[in-house]
Amino acid sequence: MKVTMHGHSCVQVETSESSLIIDPFLTGNPLAKTKAEDVKVDYILLTHGHQDHVGDTEQIAKNNDATIIATFELATYMGWKGCKVHPMNLGGEASFDFGSVKLTQAFHSAGLTLDDEQNIIYMGMPAGLVLNIEGKTIFHAGDTGLFSDLKLIGELNKIDLAFLPIGDNFTMGPQDAVLAAEWTQADLVVPVHYNTFPPIKQDPHQFTEALKKKGMTGKVLEPGEYLEL
Ligand code: NI
Ligand code: MN
């Protein structure tokens, strides 16, 4: 399968049968190389209800007649906008034609900010995603601080590829992400959620070097780059 990084936390997974995208924040991401109107997918997976993750979801869902998989509150909200949705919640697993999705916990928050109304709509719990696709396990941590149950996620799943945030400020920073990588025991770690905005500026190569010193493998994927899994 082809796994493409689109910048920030947005990752696309394409198999011969189907295509899914996680957290499609493209419009408004200064580093994104892909346009929302060019995205062809069957499913959109959302880790949580923050604008830098929900992003272009409505447009992409409607353009492609794609199903949105998200936590209950966020899925319900997208359903009200006329999108096809599959609501889930933490700890739950569900099968789809591309494979399975299990929602893990993430220590963060979730809410959509309506600046005009000075209102924030509660969007339920934030999540991480464990995907099982064609016999491979991909873990997308979503936005989270470090928490010790990442060890449990590593024990319960043989993770081939993990996407971990390193930006600091809103999520764990690079030092904590090295610990997260150790605890999840992922074969390959790709950093996400950095450099999009000034408060999350990081050197991802310093992070992958730190992994290497501890005997782990990291890979920096620039927006538009992909790997084969
Ligand atoms: Ni967030
Ligand atoms: Mn975020």
For ligand 1, an ion, list residues with CB under 5 A. Answer: 50, 143
How far does residue 120's CA lie from ligand 1's centre (Å)?
13
How far does residue 189's CA lie from ligand 1's centre (Å)?
20
How far does residue 171's CA lie from ligand 1's centre (Å)?
8
How far does residue 126's CA lie from ligand 1's centre (Å)?
8
pLDDT digits (tens, 9 = 90+) for 48-98: 999 999 999 999 999 999 999 999 999 999 999 999 999 999 999 999 999
207 pLDDT tier (thresholds 50, 70, 90): very high
How far does residue 187's CA lie from ligand 2's centre (Å)?
24
What single string gives the DSSP state of each residue in the chain? -EEEEEETTEEEEE-SS-EEEES---TT-TT--S-GGG---SEEE-S-S-HHHHTTHHHHHHHHTPEEEEEHHHHHHHHHTT-EEEEE-TT-EEEETTEEEEEEE-SS--EEEETTTTEEEE----EEEEEEETTEEEEE--S----TTHHHHHHH---SEEEEE---SSS--HHHHHHHHHHHT-SEEEEES-SSSGGG---HHHHHHHHHHTT--B----TT-EEE-
How far does residue 150's CA lie from ligand 2's centre (Å)?
19
Average pLDDT over residues 125-135: 98
How far does residue 65's CA lie from ligand 2's centre (Å)?
25
How far does residue 16's CA lie from ligand 1's centre (Å)?
31
228 pLDDT tier (thresholds 50, 70, 90): very high
**Which one of the ligands is nearest to 200 CA?**
2
- Percent of the chain beyond pLDDT 90? 100
Predicted TM-score (pTM) of the model is: 0.98
Question: How does the average pLDDT of the chain come out, rounded?
Answer: 98
Task: Supply the pLDDT for residue 154.
Answer: 98
